[in-house]
Structure 1
């Protein structure tokens, strides 16, 4: 049985968010980001601060969650960071409406 993994969101010095996955301790991986180790995107945006993380028992679940979160809007990521889970569906619906799909036709 495979070990689990954590996904995490970092706030970068330029105000952007970085979403990643690690099988290490999250704090260890954040330290690596701040040291520029295996951190292409964040190495140019240091220092970074951990703003959210979650552990998944199954690696496949962590990979799926990371991919999903990476596709989210900034507003949806910020709702997750704040723990405002009730806002997530509305933010997803709003983004879908903005996709240019005709409404009422």
Structure 2
């Protein structure tokens, strides 16, 4: 995975646990920040650290549009999205070129 690649991602606290949708241009660095509680907020407060899904985009504008759409989805749709590519909810952090 190349650096500075616009990306939408979903984090989970555990399988079927609390979910968080985010957008970034540097996925490895952003997930590291979540995992190490560098950023105050929702993921730190609710221990949401496992990268369970991500999607690369050509532009930050398209990534932000997709993130906003996913945030508006019903929870069951987000779970279906995760389980399509990651049925066991593996933490994908080690696979993103950290």
Shorter-chain TM-score bucket reads 0.7 to 0.9
Deviation at residue 4 of structure 1 after TM alignment: 4.7
Task: Provide the secondary structure at the position in 1 that maps to 2:46.
Answer: coil
C-alpha RMSD of matched pairs (Å): 2.1
Q: Which has the larger radius of gyration?
A: 1
Match of 1:42 in 2: 43
5+ unaligned residues in a row in structure 2: which ranges?
86-98
TM-score between both structures, scaled by the size of structure 2: 0.73
Tell me if 1:60 matches 2:61.
Answer: yes
Match of 1:18 in 2: 20
The number of residues matched between the two structures is 81
Residues 7 and 22, structure 1, Cα contact 8 Å, conserved in 2: yes
Alpha-carbon displacement from aligned partner over 1:71-103 (angstroms, at most 9, x marks no partner): 11110001111128xxxxxxxxxxxxxxxxxxx
| Structure with bigger RCO (C-alpha 8 Å, 6+ apart) | 2
TM-score between both structures, scaled by the size of structure 1: 0.68
5+ unaligned residues in a row in structure 1: which ranges?
85-105
Task: Provide the secondary structure at the position in 1 that maps to 2:56.
Answer: strand
Task: Provide the secondary structure at the position in 2 that maps to 1:83.
Answer: helix
